Amino acid sequence: MRRPHGTREWLGALYDRHAAGLYRYAVMILADRDAAGDAVQQVFTRLVDRRDRPEIEANYLRRAIRNECFSMLRNRRRRLQAADSHEILEALSARDDRPEERLAIQAALLALPADQREVVHLKVFEGLTFQEIADLAGESIHTIASRYRYALDKMRAML
């Protein structure tokens, strides 16, 4: 997306195009809605200074939010564990909501380590292949596949 020189419209268009996806990704890594909002804000704030990069691609943003989230997890572990904004799932529509099932799946997701939750998100909700996830995470495809396997095994035991 080409940036008109330093305008709020540029940031607004970029936000409308990518923020929801980035926020959901951050929520799944951090398991914390408030922290996810902080992470998205950090990424977009840094973009303002990237005048030298005329093309901001989805992959670049995805990598940026990933780095930000794992950095937050390393540096602010105690605060994140104490946060109470852990309602990360919602029904596709109010009519289809099954609160008990939703809470059980949510609990199973929250019980996973962040890197396993990330793989589940990218595979199930974003539809990425293991290879694409491996490229994003900078890991081997076998590592990613193993993480997914461990995640599903753990969720299966909890559900």
Partner 1 sequence: MNDEEIERKLRRFRIVEPPATLRTTIVERSGGPVVSASLWMPTAAALIAAAVLYSLSAYERAAVHFRVDQAAVARSVNIELVARSLGGGPQSFLAAKTAVLLDEPKPETRR
Contact flag: residue 112 with partner 1 (CB under 8 A) = no
* Chain centre to alpha carbon of residue 70: 10
Q: How far is the CB of 40 from partner 1 (least distance, A)?
A: 7
Contact flag: residue 130 with partner 1 (CB under 8 A) = no
Closest residue by Cα to residue 25 from 138, 127, 121 = 121
Contact flag: residue 11 with partner 1 (CB under 8 A) = yes
Contact flag: residue 76 with partner 1 (CB under 8 A) = no
* Chain centre to alpha carbon of residue 77: 17
Closest residue by Cα to residue 119 from 152, 146, 148 = 148
Among 1, 17, 20, 131, the residue binding partner 1 under the rule CB under 8 A is 20
Among 63, 76, 83, 102, the residue binding partner 1 under the rule CB under 8 A is 102
Nearer to partner 1 by Cβ, of 99 and 138: the residue is: 99
Q: Which long-range contacts (CB under 8 A, 24 or more apart) does 71-76 make?
A: 72/30, 72/35, 72/38, 72/39, 73/29, 73/30, 73/114, 76/35
Q: How far is the CB of 122 from partner 1 (least distance, A)?
A: 12
Say if residues 155 and 112 touch (Cβ distance below 8 Å). Answer: yes
Residues that bind partner 1 in the complex, under the rule CB under 8 A:
5-8, 11-12, 15-16, 19-20, 23-24, 27-28, 33, 36-37, 40-41, 44-45, 48-49, 51-52, 87-92, 96, 98, 101-102, 105, 120-121, 124-125, 152, 155-156, 159
